[in-house]
Amino acid sequence: MAILIILAILIIGYFAGKIVHDHYAHKMPEIVDPGDGAWDWYDDYISLAIRGMQYYHPADYTEEGYIVAELDNQYDQHAIAVYTRKLEIIGHLPAGNWQLHRFLIEHGRYIPARIAVSSTEGLEGDERMYGSVYLDSGKYRELHGIEIDTGY
């Protein structure tokens, strides 16, 4: 009986994840590097730490993705999720970024971001994940006027 319950939970979890993916997939434009230096490192960017990666186990990743304002996160009413361009969740930005959350809501719930995730071996031989999101504050000038917890 316990095996059936576990199997049912896994199946429900799979389809719940697929529903979330399908919900965002048709709304987000494909990110294409235009080749005109659009993702060159600006002097004018904001770097934020990614939290909760241990729940998602992302592979090392350096590419474009999205930050998305979540509307129904039970742990943080202003949660901001970090997604790859393939709409795989990597983690979340630090809790309490209500002004950034509001900014995202006002801009259609998501904006493109550059994402860097790497893993390293900890002192006890365990794997440690580190991740950052880079927001182009040159493109989104309104980010200069809001308070953001970078998590560093």
Q: Is the pTM of this model over 0.75?
A: no
**Alpha carbon of 52 to those of 13, 56, 143, 150: distances in Å?**
18, 7, 24, 14
Domain-embedded: residue 13: no
Q: Would you say 112 and 106 are in contact if contact means Cβ atoms under 8 Å apart? A: no
The residue-averaged pLDDT of 16-33 equals 45
Q: Quick check: is 24 in a domain?
A: no
Report the domain count for the chain: 1
Residue 7's pLDDT band (boundaries 50, 70, 90)? low
Poorest-pLDDT segment among 75-89, 104-118, 124-138: 124-138
| Structure-token pair, residue 47 | 């770097």
Tell me whether residue 86 is in a domain. Answer: yes
Is 120 a domain residue? yes
| C-alpha to C-alpha distance for 107 and 118, rounded to whole angstroms | 29
CATH number of the structural domain spanning residue 40:
3.30.70
Q: The domain containing residue 64 runs over which residues? A: 31-145
5 occurs within a structural domain: no
Q: Does a structural domain hold residue 108?
A: yes
Q: What is the average per-residue pLDDT within 53-69?
A: 84
Contact present, 51 and 94 (Cβ < 8 Å): yes
Residue 86 pLDDT exceeds 80: yes
Does the pLDDT value for residue 29 go beyond 50? no
User: Is 17 part of any domain?
Assistant: no
In a domain, 58, yes or no: yes
